[in-house]
Amino acid sequence: MQYEAVIGLEIHVQIKTRTKMFTAAPYEYGAAPNTLTDAVVLGLPGTLPVLNHTAIEKCAKLGLMLGCEIAEVCKWDRKNYFYPDSPKNYQLTQNEEPLCIGGKVEIELPGPSRNVEGEHRWVALNRIHLEEDPGKLTHEAFETVIDFNRAGVPLAEIVTEPDMSSSAEAVAFLNCLRNMIVYAGISDCDMEKGQLRCDANVSLRPVGSDKLGTRTEMKNLNSISNVKAAIEYEIERQTEILEEGGSITQETRRWEVESGTSFSLRSKEEAHDYRYFPDPDLMPVQMDRARVAELEAELPERPLDKQRRYQEELGLPFTITSVLCVDRELSEFFEEALKTHNAPKQIANYITNDLLRELSAVSEHGESAHSVSQSKLTPAHIGTLAKIIDEGVISKQIGKEVFTEMFATGEMPDAIVEKKGLKQSNDTGEIEALCREAIAGNAKAVGQFKDGNEKALNALKGPVMKATKGKANPKMLDELLKKLIEEGE
Amino acid sequence: MSDLHFKTISELAAMLAAGETTSVEITQAVIDRTAAVDAQVKAFLSTDAEDALAQAKASDERRAAGEALGPLDGIPIGIKDTLAVKDQPLRCASKMLENYVSPYDATCIVKLREAGAVIWGRLNMDEFAMGSSTENSAYQTTANPWNLETIPGGSSGGSAAAMAAGEAIATLGTDTGGSIRQPAALCGVVGMKPTYGLISRYGLVAFASSLDQVGPFARTVEDAAILMEAMLGKDDLDSTSIAPQGETNYAAALKEKKGPWKLGVPQEFFGEGIDPEVKANIEKAIDWYKSQGCEIVDISLPHSELAVPVYYIVATAEASSNLARFDGVRYSHRSEEAKDAMTLFTKSRGEGFGDEVKRRIILGTYVLSSGYYDAYYLRAQKVRRLILSDFEKAFEQVDAILTPTSPTPAFKRGERADDPLAMYLSDVYTISVNLAGLPAISVPSGFTKSGLPIGLQVIGKAFGEADMFAVANAFEKAHDYAQQTPTL
C-alpha cells in the first residue's frame, strides 16, 4: 500500500516587546542568567499578572497578516502542570478562545532549479493564541540549572491545520511564515535564539483516503533543517511500522539532533491533564474594532504579493524578485530609489548585485552581518547613479568605479563624477582625432574588421579609451570608428 | 495612659493632634500589652518592636514638623501573615514558607504607610487562610481572649484575637468566605469585607483569587471606615481592582446618614443549624432597627443553601492552581529527600503543607480534572451567578441586609478539628457574600450567657459601603458592646 503523510505544525514565536507579557520586567536575548526577572516573573507570593497591551496588539497584527479573524474578546486561561521552568506551575494561555481564529498562509515551493519559481499554494491555519514563555532549563553533568530570563516573554502559538504532506512543504511554510512575521515587525524569528520554535505533528494514511491516521508530535525542532530531517525520519519510521502490519502509537517524541533520530517522551495515556480554567486574575479585554482596523491598515504588503507585483507590474524576473522581496528593508530601499529614477531593472540590478556583494564583503571582513540600513548608501545614491548612466553622463564601466567609491565614502555619485572628472567625453573632435590615430596604427585590425570580424573593432577602441581614461562614450566611439573605416575605403 | 492600647483610632488621632500622646507612646503601649498577654492569646507569629518604634518615631517627627498625614498617622496596625510587608516574614502560617521574607510591600501596606500607619507584627491565621478556627496554623493555636479554651474563629483569628486583647489599635485580615467577619463576631470586634475589587489584592498571597479581599478589623465601625478610605482604590498591579463608585468619604458620611433604612432579613439564614442564643440575639438587634423606624422586609435568597458547596468547588479549584507555585524550586520549603524534579515537587509539598491545605488542593484538582470540569466547576460558576442574582433582586427592595455573622459563638478548641464539614458550616452566613462580591461588616451585637461575643452581619450593595457602614454604626452607637473588653 502507498501512504501519504499528513503534517501539521505548531509554531511558537516570541513577540518582540520592550517588556514581558504580564509585568514591566524587560527582555533581551543573551543577558546574564536570572537578571531579567522581578517578583511577578518569579511567581513570588502575592504577585499578580498585568497585561501588556502592546503584546496583544502585536499578536492581533500577526493574526491579520496571516488572514485570521480577530476575536471580540481577549481571554486568559490557566494551563496547570508542574515543571521546574514554570515559576507558577501554571501557564497563562488562551485555551477556550484564542485571539486569532483561522487564517491561511501562501507558500512558495522550491522550483526545479534555483532560478525558476516554484508552485504556490495556501496552508490553512487553525488558530493563533497568546501565552507566556517558561524559563529555560540547562542540564549539566550533575545538576540542572534554571534561567528565568525568558519566563514571561510574550509568545504567540500558531497552529496550522493538518494541511501539509511533505517536509518540503513544511520547510516552505516555515520560510514564508518567517518572512511575513519579520516583515510585520512582530519578531526577528531567529531560531538559534529561540525566537521561533516548531513542533511537528505527523501521521500517515493510505493515498486517496480522507481519514486521518494516528499522529505523533515531534518536539525540539530548533532549526529549519531539523524540521526537515525530523519529519522525513518520522514518515520513514511510521511507514516501516505500517508496512510491517503494526500500528502507530499516539505519543510525543523528542528529536535528537546529534543522532538524527527521535525517541518517545510520553504516550497518550501519560499525557498531562492540564485542568484548564479561566484565569481569575486577568479581566477579559474587549478588542476595539476601530483599533483592529487601524492595525490592519498598518500591515505591510505581504512578501509574495510584493513579488507578484514586481514581476507583473515592473517586469522584474524571478531571479531578482526572489532576492529583493525576502527582505522588507531591501524592497523598500528599492522602491525609494525608483523615486529618484524610475528604471526598475537597472536599479534592482544595482541592489541585488552590486550592493549585496559589497555588503557581504563587509560582513566577511569580520564585522557582523551588514544590512542596507547600516551602509552609507541611501536610495538616492543608487537612483542617481542609474540616472546619470541612462543620461549618458558616465558609462556603465565608469559606473562600477563610482559605485565602489560611493559605497566606501557615502558621497553622491554626481559629486564623485565631478570631483574625479569622470564625465563621459562627447567631444567628437578630440575622439575623432584619436580614432584616426588608432586606425592608422593598426592596419591588421582594420583589415579583420573589413573581413567581417566585428570583434576586431575592440583592438581599435582600446587605445582610444586608454587615451581618454575611459571617458569616451562607447556607443559614439563604435559609430565613429565604423564611419571612419568606411570612409577610408 | 495605661489603656492607650484599647482606644480607637479616632480617639488616638484626636489625642495625637492635641499633643496629649505620641505615636511612640501608643506603639510602646501596644508592644507592652502584647508582651503581657500574647503568651496566653498567641495572636502573633512574630513581632518587630524595633521596627515599629522606628516607624512611630518617624511619625512623631512628621507631626512635630507640622506634616502629620491624617487620622492613621502613628497608629500601630497588626497585619495578617498572608499580606506582604517588605523585609518581614511572610509565612501564611505554613511550614512551606518557614524561612520566606517578602521583598516587597502589598499595595494595601503601601497605602497604609502613605497614611502614616505603623506596621506592626505578623498575625496568626489558618494555613494559607484555609480554615475557620486558626487551628490550621502550622505554628500555634490562637486563643479567643474572651475564653481561652475556645477558638478565635478563622482564618484571620490572630487579627481578631489581637484586637480583642488590645495588642493592636487595628488589624488587617483577608476574607475569602468569611475569614474576617466570622472571627470578628467570635472575638467581639468590628470586621469588614469590602466589595470585590475595592482594595487591591497585590501582595495578598492568593487562596481563591475571585473571592479573596483585604479588609480591616477595628474597635468601631468608624475606625473600619477610616481604614477603608486609606486602602481603597484602583491599582495598576491588580487587574481585578476597580475604581470606587459612589460615596467614599465613609467616616464623614457615617455621621450624616441616619436612616431610617429599608432592611432585608433573609429567612434562609435563621433555619437549621443556628444556635438559639445567636438567633435570639440577632432577632433582638432586628427589633432595635424596627424601633428606630426602619422598615424590616422579609426577603428570600433561595440559592444561598447552595453557597457552601459552590464555594468549596470554586475556592478549592482556584487554590489548587494558586498554591502550585510552592514547589521547593525557588523559595518555598525544599525537601532533603528530593532526588529529582518529581520528588522535589512531591516531597517538598508533602512535607510543607498541612492536612487541610492538602485536602483542598486535592478537592480543587479533582473538580478541574478532565471529565469532571463541566459537572463541578462550570456548574458551580452558574450557581454562583444565581446567588448573585438573588442578592440583586433583594437589593431592589432594601438598602441593606441583616443576618447573623456566624451560626454559633466561639466553639471549644479541637471540637471541630476532625470534622471538616462541621467546620465548613461555620461560614454558612458569610460565604454567599463573597460569591456575590458584596461588602459586609460584622458588628458586635451582644454576648451569650456564658460571655461569648455574638456578631450581627450587615450586607451592603456592591460599592454600597457608605450605607453599610451607616447602618452598622447606628446599632453600635446605641449599644455598648464594642466598648467591652475581656479580662486577661
Q: What is the pLDDT of residues B305-329, one digit of tens each?
A: 999 999 999 999 999 999 999 999 9
Active site (annotated) includes residue B80: yes
Residue B345 lies in a domain: no
Contacts of A136 in chain B (CB under 8 A): none
Residue B150 lies in a domain: yes
How far CA B425 is from CA of A119, A368, B143, B421, B456, in Å, comes to 70, 69, 20, 6, 17
ipTM above 0.90, yes or no: yes
How many Å apart are CA A86 and CA A451, to the nearest integer? 85
A interface residues, B as partner, C-beta within 8 Å: 39, 42-51, 78, 80, 82-84, 87-90, 144, 146, 273, 275-277, 280-283
Contacts of A88 in chain B (CB under 8 A): 324-325
Cell 432579613, residue?
A: B265
Active site (annotated) includes residue B179: yes
- Domain with A460 in it: what CATH number? 1.10.10.410
CB A103 within 8 A of CB A68: yes
> CB distance A49–B239 less than 8 Å?
yes
> Do A204 and A317 share a structural domain?
no
> CB distance B210–A146 less than 8 Å?
no
> CB distance A46–B325 less than 8 Å?
no
> Do A455 and A376 share a structural domain?
no
Active-site position among B23, B94, B102, B155 = B155
Q: Does B339 touch chain A (CB under 8 A)?
A: no
How many Å apart are CA A487 and CA A67, to the nearest integer? 70
> CB distance B321–A78 less than 8 Å?
yes
> Do A366 and A285 share a structural domain?
no
Last residue of a domain, one of A390, A420, A450: A420
Residue B299 lies in a domain: no
Contacts of B129 in chain A (CB under 8 A): none
> Do A262 and A373 share a structural domain?
no
> CB distance B327–A84 less than 8 Å?
yes
How many Å apart are CA A248 and CA A246, to the nearest integer? 7
Residue B289 lies in a domain: no
Active site (annotated) includes residue B95: no
Cell 486558626, residue?
A: B134
Provide the grid cell at A55. 503584546
Q: What is the pLDDT of residues B78-88, one digit of tens each?
A: 999 999 999 99
The chain B residue lying nearest A80, using CA atoms, is B321
> CB distance B318–A280 less than 8 Å?
yes
Q: What is the pLDDT of residues B258-303, one digit of tens each?
A: 889 999 999 999 988 899 999 999 999 999 999 999 999 999 999 9
How many Å apart are CA B37 and CA B80, to the nearest integer? 18
Longest CA span, chain B: 70
Supply the DSSP symbol for A354. Answer: I
CB A269 within 8 A of CB A281: no
Once rounded to an integer, what is the mean pLDDT over residues B44-66?
98
Residue B200 lies in a domain: yes
Contacts of A146 in chain B (CB under 8 A): 329
Domain assignment of residue B34, given as a range: 4-258+469-483
Contacts of A49 in chain B (CB under 8 A): 239
Active-site position among B23, B59, B132, B179 = B179
Chain A closest-CA separation from residue B462 CA (Å): 18
> CB distance B369–A42 less than 8 Å?
no
The chain B residue lying nearest A277, using CA atoms, is B368
> CB distance A47–B97 less than 8 Å?
no
Picking from B96, B4, B110, B93, the residue whose alpha carbon sits closest to that of residue B46 is B93
> Do A22 and A164 share a structural domain?
yes
* Per-position DSSP letters for B254-320, written without gaps between them: HHH-----EEEEEGGGGSTT--HHHHHHHHHHHHHHHHTTPEEEEE--GGGGGHHHHHHHHHHHHHH
Last residue of a domain, one of A243, A274, A292: A292
Q: Does B324 touch chain A (CB under 8 A)?
A: yes
> CB distance A48–B345 less than 8 Å?
no
* Per-position DSSP letters for A379-432, written without gaps between them: HHHHHHHHHHHHTTSS-HHHHHHHHHHHHHH---HHHHHHHHT-PPB--HHHHH
Considering CB atoms only, which of A45, A51, A281 is closest to B209? A281
Look at chain A and report how many structural domains it folds into.
3
- pLDDT tens, per residue, chain A with 489 residues: 899 999 999 999 999 999 999 999 999 999 999 999 999 999 999 999 999 999 999 999 999 999 999 999 999 999 999 999 999 999 999 999 999 999 999 999 999 998 899 999 999 999 999 999 999 999 888 889 999 999 999 999 999 999 999 999 999 999 999 999 999 999 999 999 999 999 999 999 999 899 999 999 999 898 999 999 999 999 999 999 999 999 999 999 999 999 999 999 988 877 889 999 999 999 999 999 999 999 999 999 999 999 999 999 999 999 999 999 999 999 999 999 999 999 999 999 999 999 999 888 887 776 555 688 888 999 999 999 999 999 888 888 888 889 999 999 999 999 998 888 777 766 677 788 888 888 888 888 888 888 888 888 888 888 888 888 777 777 778 888 888 888 876
CB neighbours (10 Å) of residue A26? 14
Chain B closest-CA separation from residue A277 CA (Å): 7
The chain B residue lying nearest A147, using CA atoms, is B330
Q: What is the pLDDT of residues B445-486, one digit of tens each?
A: 999 999 999 999 999 999 999 999 999 999 999 999 989 999
Active-site position among B7, B42, B80, B111 = B80
Residue B26 lies in a domain: yes
> Do A275 and A209 share a structural domain?
yes
Considering CB atoms only, which of B237, B330, B377 is closest to A48? B237
Last residue of a domain, one of A249, A269, A292: A292
Q: What is the pLDDT of residues B348-390, one digit of tens each?
A: 999 999 999 999 999 999 999 999 999 999 999 999 999 999 9
> Do A309 and A247 share a structural domain?
no
Look at chain B and report how many structural domains it folds into.
1
Question: What pLDDT score does B2 carry?
Answer: 56
Residue B1 has pLDDT above 50, yes or no: no
CB B87 within 8 A of CB B104: no
Domain assignment of residue A194, given as a range: 3-292
Contacts of A134 in chain B (CB under 8 A): none
> Do A320 and A180 share a structural domain?
no
> Do A102 and A38 share a structural domain?
yes
> CB distance B104–A146 less than 8 Å?
no
**Would the CA dihedral through B386, B392, B395, B397 be positive or negative?**
negative
Contacts of B320 in chain A (CB under 8 A): 80, 275
> Do A415 and A358 share a structural domain?
yes
> Do A310 and A396 share a structural domain?
yes
> Do A263 and A238 share a structural domain?
yes
The chain A residue lying nearest B204, using CA atoms, is A46
CB A182 within 8 A of CB A215: no
- Domain with B48 in it: what CATH number? 3.90.1300.10
How many Å apart are CA B476 and CA B186, to the nearest integer? 16
The chain B residue lying nearest A85, using CA atoms, is B329
